[in-house]
Structures are given as C-alpha cells and as structure tokens.
Amino acid sequence: MYGYGYGYGYYGFDWTYILLIIGMLLSLAASARLKSTFSYYRKIRSASGLTGAETAERILRAAGITDVHVRAISGSLTDHYDPRTKRLALSQDVYGRTSVAAVCVAAHECGHAIQHNINYAPLNIRSAIVPVANIGSSLSWPIFLLGLILSIPALTTVGIVLFSLAVLFQLVTLPVEFNASSRALKMLESTGILSREENKGAKKVLTAAALTYVAALASSILQLLRLLILSGGRRRDD
C-alpha cells in the first residue's frame, strides 16, 4: 500500500525525519549553551593574570611533562591536543588571553596531554578507532542508501555496521572528555592558577563543552535508530 514501508507514514511522509530533527535541536542547544557560557567567562579576567599559554606551560610542568609544545592556531574553540606530534594547540581566544574561559580551556587540553602521558586507556582506544570511525562516517550513508535503492539487504547491513563504528567513537569520547575536564579542574586549583571561586566558573565552561559531546552522541544514536527503522521497513516490504 502506498505510503508505507521504508519507515514512512501516510502520504509518503518519512516520520523518521523527526529523529533527525530531535538530534539537530539537541546539538544546536548544546552548541548555543557552550558559546553563551564561553562568551560570558571570556569577559572575566582570572586573578592570576596568566594567559592560556602560560596556564598550559605551568600545568604541564607541574605534571612533569616537558616534551609537549604549546602553540597558537587560528579560529575560535579550535583548541586541541595532538598525541601524534605532542602539540597542544590553543585558539586565538585562549592562547594570549587571561580570562577564566581561556585558562580553563587551556587546562582541559592539558588534561588530554596528561592522559596521553599516563597511557589513559580510553584515550588509547579512541585513537585506535579513529581510522575506522572516519571510514564509517564517510561511507555508511552512501552504502546504506545504495542497499535500499538496489534492494540488497547486505549493503544496508554494512552501512549500519559502519555507522555504528562512528557511534562507538563518540561513545568512547565521553569518558575521555569528562576525565580531561576533571583533571583540569584539579590542576587549576592545586597549582593556584584559579581560586576555588573561579573554579566554579571554570566548571560551568567545561560542563557546557562536555554537553556538546553528549548531544553529538545522542544525535548519532538517533540517526542509527533511523537507519535500523528504515532497513527494517524495507525488509518487511520485501
């Protein structure tokens, strides 16, 4: 009967798009909260007067790490730590700024450097699955759609498996990010870079950042659910 199959409802409306919309709204809400929180604490100067770069250098020294290089990169909220090159990259809003936001973002990236230094298992697992996760992200939908169009269940299954690898990567990312933030807050207080009161603001910034990863995972799970529904609907039609 027209209007059914492929996960569709009446008049050919694909109700599974609702799952995509929910995921998109979650991601947009998390991103908006992060930008708002970061913008607020970017205007508040830390009592220590240390820049993001100086914060990173101090935390790395306190952790006994001497082989990680801190450098500036362009963009906003593009900060990251690269375990392959042992480079800690800080964005323009962080590297030379003395705000609470800049300090806590720099500390968070140091948290990743510390994880790498102690062979933190979830970080190693995430690094190991990056190649297959990238393949899953780029090829899952084309293969899945090809399977639907050609009515080849094996291809749709391959597409679902590939997308599951991308979801797995985001799942493993959560403990890595939460742990890095926890280490950052402890180091900021133990080194005296931020006061206990300032640390409350830092926690808000890092919590907002962590929620973007939670939203991304939720969005991906919803997309995976959509793939399963569409695949199941097609098989029932066959």
Which positions are annotated as active-site residues?
109
- What is the per-residue burial (b if ≥16 Cβ within 10 Å, else e) of 204-214? bbbebbbbbbb
Q: Which residue has the tokens 């190693």?
A: 124
Pairing of strands 80-82, 69-72: unpaired
Contact 183, 115 (CB under 8 A): yes
Separation CA 7–CA 144 (nearest Å): 14
Residue 213 three-state SS: helix
Q: How far apart are CA 75 and CA 5, in angstroms?
A: 45
Straight-line distance from the first to the last Cα atom of the chain, in angstroms, rounded to the nearest whole number: 13
Instruction: Name, in order, each residue with C-beta under 8 angstroms of 158's C-beta and a sequence gap of 6 or more.
Output: 143, 144, 147
Residue 184 has, within 13 A of its CA and on its CB side, a CA count of 34
